[in-house]
Amino acid sequence: MGECIHIQLVTDPIIPSSRRLLVRNVTLALAFAAVWTLSGCKKTGDGQYEVQKPVVGTETDTVNTPTVETGTVKDTVTVPKIESEKKEVTVPKVEVKKPNQ
């Protein structure tokens, strides 16, 4: 599990400053994509969200999320009855005597 695998995908040498530029651009693109994706819906009520679908232009639908209700209900269950009785039995008795020193 602690092993590392190094794969070099790029065959052209990359100058460290251009590598930093590439990483910065990819990070900015991912951040922009995340913001753009999350801006497509908004909450309109309790358990309701308005979602924009990507069609030619935009189309807005309302999505109703499920609700969960909790509480208690009386029910009947069968519980087994366990009885015990006393019985007299004979058990061995062991006495250990220490030798005199």
**pLDDT for 3 beyond 70:** no
The predicted-structure confidence for 52-78, as pLDDT tens digits, reads as follows 766 676 677 777 778 888 889 899 989
**CA angle in degrees (0–180, nearest 5) for 25-27-32:** 95
From residue 77, alpha-carbon distances to 74, 80 in Å are: 10, 10
pLDDT category at 8 given cuts 50, 70, 90 is: low
pLDDT at 88: 92
Question: For the chain, which residues make up each domain, given as ranges?
Answer: 16-64
pTM here is 0.28
pLDDT, the chain, mean: 76
